[in-house]
Amino acid sequence: MKKLSLLLISLFILTSCGDQAQSIEELIATGDTEMIAQKKTELLHTKKMLENEINSIEQFLDKNSVKKDGALVSIKTISDTIYNHFIELQGSVATKQNITLMPEMGGILTHVYVTEGQRVVKGQHLARIDDGGISQNIEQMKVQAQLAKTTYERQERLWNQKIGSEIQYLQTKAAYEAQVNAIKSMQQQLAKTIVTAPFAGVIDNVITEQGTTVSPGMTQLLRIVNLDNMYIEVEVPETFITSVKQGTEVEVEFPVLGETLKSMVRQTSAYINPSNRSFNIEIPVPNKKGRVKPNLTARLKINDYTNKEAILIPLAVISENQHGDQYVMIATNLQPGDQYHTAVAKRKLITTGKITKNLIEITSGLTKGDYIIEEGARSVREDQQVRIKKA
């Protein structure tokens, strides 16, 4: 309509100029400023009258053309689809088999049998601490134990023949058993001088070199890590306590590695942290290639909701009335034409569910097969005739 206004005004000016060009030139040639100013006023008045008439025509056309032809909109047929909603969180990788070994006995670290990066099996000897003469004492105690055993066996034979007193028999028996127990105790002490692997894994760091004097429970000897049993522990807001549970599917992404893998929730905490109203979940991480390391950052997409027959529409087509109710415009009474489909716009109240990016789930108000108005949805009114673009 604006283009029409400019065109009519332009035609008027050109026509006026064409018809009266000579007279205007003659008027200017006279040099009569009063007459020239009067002519300008007349032309401006005529121009103003034409503009007012054109505006009236535009208002009429704007008001009545929609009723006649209908607004031009696009529609989309409502269909159902599988819809998965995800919670996106961030966590870091951990392993329960990542420990630093310390000696149980003090002394000089005489041997370190492993190197960094070496794979070891459970029970394998990793290092040895000087026993301080315990092994020699054990050998002496074994000799004494043998003598005590011989004395006990002889006294036992005599006692069986009713020779000697019972107290002598019991004393020799007690002496022998005490010697055996003493040897076992010393052997347990001796075993503490050998540092063994508590589980199969990789020696990540040899912290103390051999020849160093170590103290029990204080000196760090080695760090051993098992990269086979990795997991991610992350805090989840308590609002998801009913939807995130054992067996819930999780997509794990490692941005640094450029890898994504599928896993599931292995364990959920039975305790809610009162400081941030969250609970912990544990997600196992397969590590077949050995590239996943402890403390590696991971992005998690936890599938907290799935609807196999969900209706999804763009957020942009939803409007709200004065009562706060959400609605969309749908096309009804579709009539096929040569170039366009004609229809009538109707308002439908809806209720919404989960949101993912620019789409929202419709839980009620729309059914499969409805025609929702997309382009032009916010410009049409109830019961307004619309023209629908062909796909």
pLDDT digits 0-9 by tens, 61-74? 555 554 445 678 88
pLDDT of residue 157: 87
pLDDT digits (tens, 9 = 90+) for 326-379: 999 999 887 665 455 678 899 999 999 998 888 999 999 999 989 999 988 888
Residue 36 predicted with pLDDT over 70: yes
For residues 364 and 350, give the distance between their C-alpha atoms in angstroms, rounded to a whole number.
6
Distance in angstroms (rounded) separating the CA atoms of residues 73 and 377: 7
Residue 52 has pLDDT above 60, yes or no: yes
**Residue 335, pLDDT score:** 66
Question: Are 268 and 279 spatial neighbours (Cβ–Cβ below 8 Å)?
Answer: yes
Lowest average pLDDT, out of 43-52, 192-201, 296-305, goes to 43-52
* Phi, psi of 137, deg, nearest 5: -65, -35
Residue 337 carries which side chain, given as an amino acid letter?
G
Say if CB 240 and CB 300 are below 8 A apart: no
pLDDT at residue 2 tops 60: no
pLDDT attached to residue 32: 76
Q: What single letter denotes the amino acid at residue 309?
A: E
Phi then psi for residue 365, to 5 deg, are: 110, -30
| Exposed e or buried b per residue across 216-247, where buried means at least 16 C-beta atoms within 10 angstroms of its C-beta | eeebebbbbbbbeebbbebebeeebeeebeee
Alpha-carbon distances of 385 from 51, 340, 346, 380, rounded to whole Å: 30, 12, 10, 9
User: Which segments within 169-218 are labelled E, that is strand?
Assistant: 194-196, 201-206, 213-214
Structure tokens at 183: 């040897």
| pLDDT value for 47 | 81
Question: Above 70 in pLDDT, residue 193?
Answer: yes
| Rg from Cα positions in the chain | 46
pLDDT at 17 over 70: no
3-state helix, strand, coil in the chain (%, to 5): 30, 35, 30
pLDDT of 1 reads 45
**Per-residue pLDDT averaged across 75-92, rounded?**
91
Q: pTM for the whole thing?
A: 0.58
